Homo-oligomer: A and B are copies of this chain.
Amino acid sequence: MAPTASPAATRRQTGDAAMAARLRLSATRLARILRRQADTGLSPSQLSALATVEIHGPMTLGALAEHENVAPPSVTKVVNILESQGLVGREAAANDRRVAMVSITSDGSHLLEESRRRKNQWLAERLSHLEPEQRARLADALDVIEILTGVKQP
């Protein structure tokens, strides 16, 4: 027979499982809804690559492929498309002309900014309809959620 857990441990275990299920469902749904608000004209992989270049600054195609967890030929295509739309620039590295550096353009930054603005706006609108007490509860929990996603250190 399995060892018997203490009542407190059992209660916490049950609570964690229930919270996990609820949080998983909500996070998944919210992310799906937000994705529908973006409407950038870019595919998910294109948008993701653009955001990565913005966050990490100018980087080689190989580094971008690794960050995005895609194969090098895929990155070549994605960057070609982004470049043709003027969202990123590509330049051969000065010291090693095999490597190509990709960097975001101001058009690219503006597109990302606009996409985030739309998602934030949608969400902020909904937040504004909450009771002040509900907003306060959510605000109190935000840093906990950020710890779970690794945005914030415990």
Contact = CB atoms under 8 A, between A and B. Distances in A.
Contacts of A2: none
A19 B149 contact: no
Interface stretch (A58-66, A72-80, A124-132): A124-132
Interface residues of A, number: 49
A129 B12 CA distance: 11
Contact of A145 (B17, B20, B26, B119): B26
A153 to B, nearest CB: 13
Chain B CB within 10 Å, residue with most, of A22, A27, A130: A27
A5 interface: no
A137 interface: yes
Contacts of A142: 19, 22-23, 26
Nearest to A120: B20
A145 B31 contact: no
A127 B149 CA distance: 11
Interface string A13-36: 101110111111111111111100
B16 A128 contact: yes
